[in-house]
Structure 1
Amino acid sequence: MKPTLHKGQLIRWKDDHGFGFIQPDDGSQDVFLHITGFKDVNRRPQVGDFICYQLTASKDGKLRACNASIEGVTSKFSSSAAPKKSVSRTVDKSLSLPLQTLLLSLLPGLGSIHLALTTGNPIPLILYPVMSLITFRLYADDKSRAQQGRWRRQENTLHLCEFMGGWLGAFVAQEKLRHKSSKVSYQVVFWVIAILHIVFWLDWLFFGKALINLFFGIASRG
């Protein structure tokens, strides 16, 4: 049977002792990694690296990583073509992030401008960039805490900031910092929040606030 390949982020690394711990993408328990568990690579591992690895049991029966490699760092014996492909994928992704962010912010941006012009209420126009900046900083802080093994930010706090208008900043943070982007349960809640915002502005701009009036009509009758 072919060994299963796992992936996770290196959240702790003691270079002077040659060992650290990987946080698996599937959210399972942190995995011990020793420098001898690496294949030949061109540099030493660093906190924040994404590691591909297999699992093996040590003499005391505990699981540890083996046959590990650093994502994006080629083996000393790899062909010279591999780095070019990796760089190409990185460039493509960096170019697509601004475009994706622009498309996602289009409806909220237009809706906020329209609301400000028609009702004189500038709150959403101010709230979106402010909350996005706050949420991005919270993501960065939470990732830093994870890498240092400190207490983490509560997910409910991050979701509340997203709901209050910071979901665009959260999206950028997930893509740029590679944080909270692979946890399925978290992503479900995040995208529900994002879709609620988009549907709200879609209704405001194109459907004459029909869904909003329906909701408040049902709420008032209840």
Structure 2
Amino acid sequence: MKPVLRKGQLTTWKDDKGFGFIRSSEGNQDVFFHITALQETNHRPQVGDVICYQLRVDKNGRVHACNAFIEGIVSKPILGISPSVIEKPTFKPTAKSSLIFEVLLLSLLPTLGAIHFAFTTFNPIPLILYPVMSFITFAQYADDKSRAKQGRWRISEKRLHLCEFMGGWLGAFIAQRRLRHKSSKVSYQVVFWVIVAIHITFWLNWLFLGRRLIGLFLGSVFRG
């Protein structure tokens, strides 16, 4: 049976959760619409957009939109093509190399600072906290993306930012690049990079200012 292309207006959209509802032009039926049903586009859905879509019924009998595109934004998709056969971008070795370089560059100063901190204070907590929290934060990102695809309740942005602030920002950076999650929302990225700047500034001060203060303190102790 040939799929039917329908059209409706987006009447509700929750951008932070990635879903909304389409009011069908054929009646008053509201159709559930998730961001993963949208064909690739740089345009974020907004209330008032005209959405062209097909209907699909999941295993629980719920009707939702699929193979959707925003009218006037992208070209009309070929009907009958399953999202699973749509060619997805592949990560070339150059992209992986670029990610590795970025991670090394971002982690260099905090790593040196944490090592210096451990040797001067005999406290290894930062060296342990960064990798542990990065792993936890990456897992939180992966879980949140999975929830978004399934239309389930999302992990709050405050919780993700808290994990980043507690030392998991490097894991968050890797997740953003590898999972393509939370990487295009400007307001989220602003808070994320503020957190990164706080950590890097702290270790910058520790290495180049804190060491001097420690030297002055030890010198005054020995002179006394």
Deviation at 1:25, TM superposition (A): 5.7
- Matches of 2:104 and 2:50, distance apart in 1: 38
Alignment of 1:1-222 (within 5 A): 21-22=34-35, 26=44, 28=46, 34=53, 53-55=69-71, 67-68=76-77, 90-208=92-210
CA distance in 1, matches of 2:50, 2:128: 43
**Unaligned segments of structure 1, at least 5 residues:** 1-9, 12-18, 37-50, 57-63, 75-82, 212-222
TM-score w.r.t. the length of structure 2 is 0.61
**Is the CA contact (8 Å cut-off) linking 1:142 and 1:153 kept in structure 2?**
yes
Cα shift at 1:22: 3.1
Whole-Å Cα distance in 2 between the matches of residues 201 and 162 of structure 1?
A: 16
Shift in Å, 1:94: 1.6
Deviation string for 1:160-202 (max 9, x for gaps)? 0000000000000000000000000000000000000000000
Structure 2 segments unaligned to the other structure (5+ residues): 1-17, 20-31, 37-41, 56-66, 214-224
* 2-structure distance, mates of 1:94, 1:27: 30
Q: CA RMSD in A?
A: 3.7
CA distance in 1, matches of 2:197, 2:212: 17
Deviation at 1:91, TM superposition (A): 3.0
Shift of 1:65: 7.1
TM-score, reference length from structure 1 = 0.62
Residues 72-93 of structure 1 deviation map (CA, whole Å, 9 limit, x = unaligned): x67xxxxxxxx9xx76x73322
Q: Hey, which bits of structure 1, 4+ residues long, moved more than 4 A? A: 29-33, 51-54
Total equivalences in the alignment: 164
Secondary structure, aligned partner of 1:67: coil
SS at match of 1:181: coil
Please say which structure displays the higher CA radius of gyration: 2
